[in-house]
Amino acid sequence: MTIRYVASSRLPTPWAVFTMHGFAEEQTGKEHVVLTLGAVGDGEPVLGRIHSECLTGDALFSLRCDCGFQLEAALQAIAEEGRGALLYVRQEGRGIGLLNKIRAYNLQDQGADTVEANERLGFAADMRDYSICIPMLEHLNIKSLRLMTNNPRKVKAMQGFGINIAERVPLQVGRNVHNAHYLATKAGKLGHMFEVPLQHHQD
């Protein structure tokens, strides 16, 4: 996996003026972005978010998942801290891509859960490869994270690549009637940790 740093610029947002760093994944042509705030390369643990692309949640206001809410909450938390990094990783649909995610949503509309839908399409439940984060973190001299996530596999994967996870910071926002079943499946089948107990959604 070759990741090439391309360029940086200012990115003003409602929460803070971030610095945006663009990276190219040579083999696939995918374009990844990291937003940073403050001195992230000073060796101290960095408040961080590894956010997997979700076009529907991040850009189209979907209530099927919690992604858009997590994205906003993470940027807000970094702004409040005055220092941090958000990796926006182009792993749409847990790595299966947008169109396959729409296929999976179609199966979910007919009763499958998020894991069953992936399996029926011939995919593993989660196809993400977090190794692409490493060259981006190295470029920014980030070795230690206070990682905002509910996903224990994300924590383990990053530790496996030699990144110190100084703390896991829960990021529990955006629960609603449309995503309650999805979140319950994530907790039950994918091992996500939710501090507030999730009710099982009946429909």
Ligand X SMILES: Nc1nc2c(ncn2[C@@H]2O[C@H](COP(=O)(O)OP(=O)(O)OP(=O)(O)O)[C@@H](O)[C@H]2O)c(=O)[nH]1
- Which residues in this chain contact ligand X in the complex, by CB under 6 A? 52-54, 65, 67, 70, 91-94, 96, 101, 104, 114, 118, 149-151, 154, 171, 186, 192
Nearer to Zn ion, 65 or 77 (CB): 65
Residue 154 interacting entry, from ligand X, Zn ion, none, C-beta within 5 to 8 Å by type:
ligand X
Nearer to Zn ion, 112 or 163 (CB): 112
Contact 133, 50 (CB under 8 A): yes
Would residue 146 show up in a list of annotated catalytic residues for this protein? no
108 in a known ligand binding site: no
DSSP secondary-structure letter at 55? I
Would residue 42 show up in a list of annotated catalytic residues for this protein? no
Cα 127 to Cα 87: distance, rounded to the nearest angstrom: 18
149 in a known ligand binding site: yes
By the criterion CB under 5 A, which residues form the site for Zn ion? 54, 57, 65, 67
Strand order from edge to edge, sheet including 31-37: 3-12, 17-25, 31-37, 84-89, 46-52, 144-148, 164-169
Contact 143, 137 (CB under 8 A): yes
103 in a known ligand binding site: no
Nearer to Zn ion, 3 or 74 (CB): 74
Cα 97 to Cα 61: distance, rounded to the nearest angstrom: 18
Catalytic residues: 126, 128
